[in-house]
Amino acid sequence: MYQYDDYDRALVTERVAQFRDQVERYQAGQLSEDEFLPLRLQNGLYLQKHAYMLRVAIPYGVLSANQLRALAQVSDRFDKGYGHFTTRQNIQFNWVKLPEVPDLLAYLAEHDMHAIQTSGNVVRNVTTEAFAGVAADEVYDPRIFAEIIRQWSTINPEFLFLPRKFKIAVSASEEDRAAVRIHDVGLYLFRDSEGELYFKVMVGGGLGRTPFISQVLNEKLPWRDLLTYLEAVLRVFNRYGRRDSKYKARIKILVNTLGLDAFKAEVEQEFQQIPKDINGLTESELSRIASQFLPAVYETLGETDLEFATHLQNNEAFSDWYDLNVRSHKVSGYRSVVISTKFPNNIPGDVTSAQMRGIADIAERFGFGEIRVTHEQNLVLPDIPKSSLFQVWVELNRIGLGLANHALLSDMIVCPGASYCNLATAHSFPVAEQVVNAFTLEEQQDIGPVSMNLSGCINSCAHHHIANIGMLGLNKSKTDHYQITLGGRQGTDSRLGKVLGPAIAESDLPQAIRTLMDVYRKYREVDETFIQAVDRLGLAPFKEALYPEAQG
């Protein structure tokens, strides 16, 4: 992973001192609530329902074993012994105390971590896919450009008081496992026929109460111009984005109000006027950043391992886990392991300090001491020799993390909900758990891959719009109700799900999901996944089954 040099380290250390002073001045009454608010947000600190919440940055979801241990330490020392991994590949601590936050941040800085710009109207943590650098289908390692963007956007003085938050994602694979198209700016890295690197730049994606899938802003941007181009986009956004309503301030609204062509013309005009040499990326900067990642030194391993084959043959639980949670790797003899944080074993995204330490040990013992966070709130061990998989599985089970459900219906993205969050209208976790518990693992395996995301309010933190089945918590009279959407998906061909009908009472939700699955199981063709069946059948049979009374 990226190794800090003295400049990186000096920046985070000075930032802690700066924030410590701001906290002290706030506590002494020298800074008002309103004056302090953006300062704490730019340092990742929210005020939630019961306590302050600190969101710590995990740049593009990459952690070292020691950093994960540091996060375990933070969980024990400053929180209640656990942390919550988020869809921006970050981690949140829900019970921190304001006077302790500077010490917490100082401790993180010692481990080359920070909470800068994980919140506020700024460029947020740049994300990419969890398998960056180990996926066989990538054209280039997207982490390298994600790190370049991270540095450029960190405390960039012109862009710290934008109209609204600004999210950037990078993907270098055809499939797109980084949900690029729901980002304010999404970057698809590709090579042309000459082998040169370019970006296809997407703009105006975002969920929330007005969801949009992004559109193409630039078909072919040379990689050297990346920062100059981002500067042009952000300057246009900073000057012309709406500031009168929080809900109309994202760049997606600007793009759709002006129209894509007019917006594109604005960006192009700005881009042409910026001297390209100033921020122009160079081969040497690219290779310097690449070398800071200390590429893993792989052994030459065979694909054949008889012991592994025996375990696979004799142990059904291991074999299920292997089928579902283990992914191919670009290097022969290696695999990537997805660690599920989901129901019924865990609360989605929540990992205890003991589990963090356990994962760190496994990553060091069997991998290269690296851990990834996925935007689906799971963790990944990117480089595990095939011959170690059985031991890794045994060790993961020992800490309650051996659940074999990756990409099954229980692998849900769920927001923390009204138990923690001021914005949420519904209590997400308990109802998601009831939905999951309505299905045995065997049933889930029979149903196969399906994405089900549940958001506790319209702000859509759990990305329910781009799930095959989305559930949105609404506050209706005394009981929580859930609106169900169908047909959404992430990836290059992202789509927003469509609302099936009136919201359903919380207690009826598990049965409603079962009804949808029954329709699929009744009509599916051989090897047809849930989403493929939805595409073929349309919404009608699902609607009819869910709302029979409406059909008369």
Contacts with another protein, residue ranges (CB under 8 A): 5, 7-8, 10-11, 14-15, 18, 22, 30-31, 35, 38-39, 121, 151-162, 227, 235, 238-240, 243, 273, 278-279, 282, 285, 288
Rounded CA-CA distance 293/368 in Å is: 12
- From residue 126, alpha-carbon distances to 65, 68, 166 in Å are 21, 19, 10
Closest CA to 450 of 347, 324, 329: 324
The tokens describing 525, both together, are 């063709």
CB 52 within 8 A of CB 45: yes
First-to-last alpha carbon distance for the chain, in angstroms, is 60
Q: Cβ 238 to another protein, closest distance in Å?
A: 5
Question: Based on CB atoms, which residue is closest to another protein, 123 or 363?
Answer: 123
Question: Based on CB atoms, which residue is closest to another protein, 5 or 518?
Answer: 5
Q: Cβ 64 to another protein, closest distance in Å?
A: 20
Instruction: Give the contacts of 180 (CB within 8 A, at least 6 positions apart).
Output: 169, 170, 171, 186, 187, 188, 202, 205, 214, 492
Q: Cβ 94 to another protein, closest distance in Å?
A: 26
Q: Cβ 53 to another protein, closest distance in Å?
A: 21
Q: Cβ 298 to another protein, closest distance in Å?
A: 25
Question: Based on CB atoms, which residue is closest to another protein, 285 or 528?
Answer: 285
3-state helix vs strand vs coil in the chain, percent to 5: 45, 20, 35
Rounded CA-CA distance 199/149 in Å is: 13
Question: Based on CB atoms, which residue is closest to another protein, 126 or 531?
Answer: 126
How many separate helices (H) and strands (E) can be counted in the chain? 19, 20
Rounded CA-CA distance 79/36 in Å is: 23
- Tokens 């095959």 label which residue? 468
Rounded CA-CA distance 470/458 in Å is: 12
Q: Cβ 185 to another protein, closest distance in Å?
A: 16
Question: Based on CB atoms, which residue is closest to another protein, 29 or 552?
Answer: 29
Question: Based on CB atoms, which residue is closest to another protein, 278 or 297?
Answer: 278
CB 547 within 8 A of CB 501: yes
Question: Based on CB atoms, which residue is closest to another protein, 96 or 227?
Answer: 227
Question: Based on CB atoms, which residue is closest to another protein, 272 or 440?
Answer: 272
Q: Cβ 152 to another protein, closest distance in Å?
A: 5
Q: Cβ 520 to another protein, closest distance in Å?
A: 48
Q: Cβ 145 to another protein, closest distance in Å?
A: 13
The CB-side HSE value for 189 (13 A sphere, CA atoms) comes to 26
The CB-side HSE value for 442 (13 A sphere, CA atoms) comes to 1
The CB-side HSE value for 448 (13 A sphere, CA atoms) comes to 12
Q: Cβ 409 to another protein, closest distance in Å?
A: 42
Rounded CA-CA distance 115/238 in Å is: 23
DSSP state of 2: P
Question: Based on CB atoms, which residue is closest to another protein, 220 or 288?
Answer: 288
Strand-pair partners of 206: 212
Question: Based on CB atoms, which residue is closest to another protein, 159 or 520?
Answer: 159
Q: Cβ 285 to another protein, closest distance in Å?
A: 5
Question: Based on CB atoms, which residue is closest to another protein, 239 or 521?
Answer: 239
Instruction: Give the contacts of 238 (CB within 8 A, at least 6 positions apart).
Output: 158, 159, 162, 163
CB 390 within 8 A of CB 307: yes
Q: Cβ 455 to another protein, closest distance in Å?
A: 27
Rounded CA-CA distance 334/331 in Å is: 6
Question: Based on CB atoms, which residue is closest to another protein, 154 or 336?
Answer: 154
Residue 482 DSSP SS3: strand
CB 486 within 8 A of CB 542: yes
Angle among Cα 394, 400, 406 to the nearest 5 degrees reads 85
